[in-house]
Amino acid sequence: MHTLPKRIAVFGAGPIALELGQALARLDVEIFMFGKGGSGAALTDTPVRDALAAALADAFYFDPDANFQDMSLQEGKPTLRFTSPDGRERVEHFDLALAATGRVPDLEPLALENAGIELNDKGVPRFDETTMQCGDSPIFIAGDCDGARPWLHDAARFPDVQAIKRKVPFSIVFCEPQVVIVGASYDALDKQMTVTGEVSFENQGRSRVMRQNRGLLHVYADAKTGRLRGAQGCGPAMEHVGHLLAWALQLELTLDEALKLPFYHPVVEEGLRTALKDVDRKCYEERSETPPELPSAAGC
Ligand SMILES: Cc1cc2nc3c(=O)[nH]c(=O)nc-3n(C[C@H](O)[C@H](O)[C@H](O)COP(=O)(O)OP(=O)(O)OC[C@H]3O[C@@H](n4cnc5c(N)ncnc54)[C@H](O)[C@@H]3O)c2cc1C
């Protein structure tokens, strides 16, 4: 096909669907994006997910929890009958459908069961997260095939096998607003022990000046220790904010330590400072303690 189609139905609302779907929308292709189960960009923190959905729905048709009655080909065109989020029944015809619904590892042809290593119930080798070694064998696992971190590569060494501290989990989705997920999985956090701080970018100074004032950042901390645990967010410059958070997490900083670090003015990163201050204050409240005096003005 040498010209762009007029209308595409995108199935999936994960990172690939969002990056490709939004790129096509900006090339003037009319996009209808259909997700499943309410998920978007792998975000699991509902208010952050809702903020993303609201921003995307302004740019193209976006339903993170699609409800289809029928799918067919009519005169060669993918045709969908579905109920839109406002409860209307719709029938729409498309030029193409893009399935961005994930990939399944193709491990079967490798016949790993003959390699003398232990496999889990999905046929993926069991391995040590700190060395990436499969049992005591000279087999190591790296990349998407480990099923744990499908976004970056680590190397291993043999025969001088050494345990390493793995980098904090960190992912970015390059849609707009950008999405970042860093640190402990939100679903795995002990909600009784976790305090959430937030910043909305609707009213954040630099984001407003750039007219990119959409999105929400949540940062999570351990109520008892005041140590950062992770974050989920969507908004402007999330790739940079995400790096600051990833570095702070990797260095195991407490909120007080992070808040003593410099923040320039006027930058989007001041939004991160707002979220950190919010969660810091809540941690002290939770412990019925008085917070220490922190530098009041942003500065370099
Ligand atoms: C559209 C898209 C955008 C992405 N964007 C990002 C991003 O922005 N940042 C990021 O960090 N990650 C991103 N990713 C994910 C990233 O591409 C993967 O994490 C990375 O490619 C994984 O590398 P890998 O070597 O494990 O697997 P792959 O890159 O999938 O390579 C596996 C290779 O093994 C070959 N192979 C398969 N079976 C056999 C066999 N039996 N024998 C020999 N060879 C075999 C395949 O042909 C392939 O060449 C993106 C992925 C996609 C699809």
Kindly report, residue by residue over 142-173, the tens digit of the pLDDT.
Answer: 888 887 777 666 777 889 999 988 889 999 99
Is residue 297 domain-resident?
A: no
Is residue 195 domain-resident?
A: yes
Question: How many distinct structural domains can be found in the chain?
Answer: 2
Spell out where 105-238 has E strands.
170-173, 178-183, 194-200, 216-222, 228-235
Token digits of residue 123: 């046929």
Q: Is the CB of 295 under 6 A from ligand 1?
A: no
Q: Which residues pair with 222 in a beta bridge?
A: 194
Q: Is the CB of 152 under 6 A from ligand 1?
A: yes
Is residue 127 domain-resident?
A: no
Over the stretch 83-123, which tens digit does the pLDDT of each residue have?
A: 999 999 999 999 999 999 988 778 889 999 999 999 999 88
Q: Is the CB of 103 under 6 A from ligand 1?
A: no
Q: Residue 36 pLDDT more than 70?
A: yes
Q: Is the CB of 38 under 6 A from ligand 1?
A: no
Over the stretch 267-294, which tens digit does the pLDDT of each residue have?
A: 999 999 999 999 999 999 999 998 887 7
- SS3 assignment, position 44: coil
List the domain range (segments joined by +) for residue 229: 170-286
Give residue 297's pLDDT band: very low, low, confident or very high (50, 70, 90): low
Mean pLDDT taken over the chain: 93
pLDDT (0 to 100) of residue 148: 78
Q: Whose CA is nearest to atom 24 of ligand 1?
A: 143
Separation CA 230–CA 252 (nearest Å): 11
The CATH number linked to 255 is 3.30.390.30
Chosen domain end from 60, 80, 99? 99
Q: Which residues contact 3 (CB under 8 A, 6 or more apart)?
A: none
Same domain membership, residue 270 and residue 174:
yes
pLDDT (0 to 100) of residue 191: 95
Q: Whose CA is nearest to atom 50 of ligand 1?
A: 151
- SS3 assignment, position 74: strand
Over the stretch 59-90, which tens digit does the pLDDT of each residue have?
A: 999 999 999 999 999 999 999 999 999 999 99
The model carries a pTM of 0.92
pLDDT (0 to 100) of residue 152: 66
Backbone angles phi, psi at 96, to 5 degrees: -145, 160
Q: Is the CB of 112 under 6 A from ligand 1?
A: no
pLDDT (0 to 100) of residue 300: 40
Chosen domain end from 99, 130, 155? 99
Same domain membership, residue 186 and residue 87:
no
Chosen domain end from 74, 99, 124? 99
Is residue 158 domain-resident?
A: no
Is residue 105 domain-resident?
A: no
Is residue 237 domain-resident?
A: yes
- Mean local confidence (pLDDT), 223-236: 97
The CATH number linked to 69 is 3.50.50.60
